[in-house]
Amino acid sequence: MAKIVVALGGNALGNTVEEQLKKAKGSAKSIADLIVAGHQVVIVHGNGPQVGKIRLAFEKADEGKDIMPFPECTAMSQGYIGYHLQQTIDEELVARGVNDVPVITILMQVIVDPTDPAFANPTKPIGGYYDEENAKKLMQETSNVYKEDAGRGWRRVVPSPKPVDIYEKTSLNTLVAAGEVVIAGGGGGIPIVYKGARYEGVDAVIDKDFSASKIAELIDADILIILTAVENVCVNFGQENQQSLEHVSIAEMQKYIAEDQFAPGSMLPKVEAGIQFVQAKQGRKAIIASLELAGKAIQGESGTVIQS
């Protein structure tokens, strides 16, 4: 039996509540395959489309003003995505005759460094689109930063700092030790920084793959599996000499990173998060694979495996 952290992309969960519930049922089948095989599982999910819609709803309700802080929007997304995953995984397990494995969702805060360089260069777009005039007006009225987004209009951008620690790590380890299936770090977690005598939420987005890597490290997981839309990581992607990677070392992956083989907003953070986890302790491995083939990937029959 292995202790596994599964990183599930927010785009794999759909753009509407109905679509998300349907896709969550599909995700539950792959996750249940791992649990039924005897593995202990922690799930970390993205929230990109979902938190964007939450934020947009509040923006529309108050003409772009900050009626609802972004950390609270992330907390909302953790709640309803966790609810769907918790419900569908439990249903799938019961349907397979597994009635004694509890599934629980943690509202999780992730500690970030206030001096992280990301805070000086916000790049992560969130919320709705505005024309240039209204975006600049909003920047004058608030402390928010808006940037033009690929010719589609102006959007608010927030920092994307790296996770330093997990505030609820003691509770997380207690639940894992009790054999529960834990859904944690949703959307990369609610980013918090230490100010004075307490922690406070900050407007930022933590990449869920890096949070999954940190969670896997803190619970001493054996495997980090990052599920995505493709079966393997590729080099020379989209070219005639495209090559699928199956078993690669950290050194090989670092060489490919230096060659700019992986897209910064797509495959690169997955590869970097995998390397980070494997480097932290001998004997670990990270796998990047498709959602539908998660079970085969754990058995070494699919996906890209990163080992030291």
- 38 assigned to active site: no
Q: Which amino acid is it at 79? A: G
Nearest residue to 167 via CA among 214, 114, 115, 207: 214
Residue 222: CB atoms within 10 A of its CB come to 16
φ, ψ of residue 158 to 5 degrees: the values are -125, 160
Q: Which long-range contacts (CB under 8 A, 24 or more apart) does 57-63 make?
A: 59/127, 59/128, 60/128
Q: Which residue among 3, 11, 15, 29 is the active-site one?
A: 11
Q: Which residue among 10, 14, 186, 295 is the active-site one?
A: 10
Q: Which amino acid is it at 301? A: E
Q: Is 120 helix (H, G, I), strand (E, B) or coil?
A: helix
Token code pair at residue 170? 């003691």
Residue 125 CA to chain centroid, in angstroms? Answer: 16
- 10 assigned to active site: yes
Q: Which residue among 23, 124, 214, 285 is the active-site one?
A: 124
Q: Which residue among 208, 232, 295, 303 is the active-site one?
A: 208
Residues forming beta bridges with residue 156, ordered by sequence position: 126, 146
Q: Is 283 helix (H, G, I), strand (E, B) or coil?
A: coil
Q: H helices within the chain, ranges in order?
A: 17-36, 48-61, 70-95, 132-141, 169-177, 208-218, 250-258, 267-280, 294-298
- 124 assigned to active site: yes
Q: Which residue among 270, 274, 285, 295 is the active-site one?
A: 270
Catalytic residues: 10-11, 124, 208, 270
